[in-house]
A and B are shown apart, each in its own frame.
Chain A
């Protein structure tokens, strides 16, 4: 039965599934299937929490998404909306513990570097291994407001508009923060003194 619905719903967009899911658990199941891995990765990236903890947070995210389906604004993409819920739930989960880990996962280092390289011309001229260490060092020093944006931009590969909708910030602010973070990276990579934001 479930497979039948899966086949039927594969044609639907996330947005239309969100509206069907209000009365149909199977449609919601398809949405979970589409976002389970993406959101799990995102939660791990912004927190570096354990597998079990990530699963708990993921469950909270999907349950909240279900409860708030009527609040979904079709003028936004469903992806931005569910990422926004994921971001807030993760922050709120760690607020209870008052500590939110901020390290870059080893497996993400390469993707980060590859994407940031495209934005920093001089990076290509530097030793890649050395660059990776330096990038990770700088990212450790950046505050969460810069780090979250960098993760969304360079790991999740979201557009400025999507980041704006996820973090509930004006697009201009998103651009400013990305530029500041890039400037800091540039300073470190060119051995200039680092100015903490």
Chain B
């Protein structure tokens, strides 16, 4: 019996039929849906990295680390970078397994996935998603937020004169007062003491704001503040120092703290 006859008979005997088209369609579409999801996740990673890098305490880095280089190395968002790298590898594998993925060289696919993730990530960052993600992590999982945003760790060093936290209570009677902040890395509540000479943020301080304070640890989870800054500043330089020179008289006067 020739092979053609054998094959046709086997098909008939076993009642074989071609695998339905919808299965291949689901398989093909599934790979593209997965690629899309991985691209979105990677882009959220990029948005978070951009947010963390652009708001990386460039105004006070000299108070935190010895040099700009040490500051950059110590506060790079390594976890986000790792997650982004994993997303890229998965996206690369996924695209290579799509129907026509084999046609593109590794170089083209890598440039494509990195370029698309970064472009999409920049868009998300500009829409404020990077900050939103950081804020969600800090609220939902404060114990591990510093793993995603290492600047939280760098800013939680009262022994070095730096403290950060989320404002829970404000007790202010001009020209002095107390601000209670929550800092999970430092084991909970800290009291920031405001003196008449403390420089306060221009926009004031509100409940639930995250703030940064430069000053000194005076024990019992109390911190004597010399300067209080908003958690995020766009400036790349130490603006509070300029203010100190330009308007010495008023800069040391306490600013009103709106209680919202």
Are A and B associated in one complex? yes
Chain A residues engaging chain B, CB cutoff 8 angstroms: 22, 25, 28-29, 32-33, 36, 55, 58-59, 62-63, 66-71, 73, 164, 168-173
Q: Is the CB of B20 within 8 A of A168?
A: no
Say what secondary structure dominates the interface of chain B.
Answer: helix
Alpha-carbon gap, A63 to B24, bound state (A): 17
Mark the stretch among B8-16, B45-53, B85-93, B233-241 that contacts chain A: B8-16
Closest 4 CB pairs of A and B: A168-B102, A70-B21, A69-B18, A32-B4
Q: Is the CB of B16 within 8 A of A66?
A: yes
14 CB contacts below 8 A, A to B, read A32-B3, A32-B4, A32-B7, A32-B8, A33-B4, A36-B3, A59-B7, A66-B11, A67-B18, A69-B18, A70-B21, A164-B102, A170-B104, A170-B108
Q: Is the CB of B12 within 8 A of A70?
A: no
Q: Is the CB of A67 within 8 A of B16?
A: yes
Closest to A73 in B: B99
Residue B6 at the chain A interface, CB threshold 8 Å: yes
A164 CB contacts on chain B under 8 angstroms: 102-103
Q: Is the CB of B3 within 8 A of A59?
A: yes
Q: Is the CB of B18 within 8 A of A66?
A: yes
Residue B73 at the chain A interface, CB threshold 8 Å: no
Residue B19 at the chain A interface, CB threshold 8 Å: yes
Q: Is the CB of B102 within 8 A of A25?
A: no
Of residues 1 through 41 on chain B, the ones whose CB sits less than 8 Å from some CB of chain A are 3-4, 6-8, 10-12, 16, 18-21, 23-24
Q: Is the CB of A68 within 8 A of B19?
A: yes
Of residues 211 through 242 on chain B, the ones whose CB sits less than 8 Å from some CB of chain A are none
Smallest CB separation, A73 vs chain B (Å): 6
Alpha-carbon gap, A111 to B75, bound state (A): 64
Q: Is the CB of B4 within 8 A of A63?
A: no
Alpha-carbon gap, A94 to B28, bound state (A): 28
Alpha-carbon gap, A176 to B103, bound state (A): 14
Smallest CB separation, B175 vs chain A (Å): 71
Q: Is the CB of A173 within 8 A of B4?
A: no
Q: Is the CB of A172 within 8 A of B11?
A: no
Contact of A59 among B6, B16, B105, B108 (CB under 8 A): B6
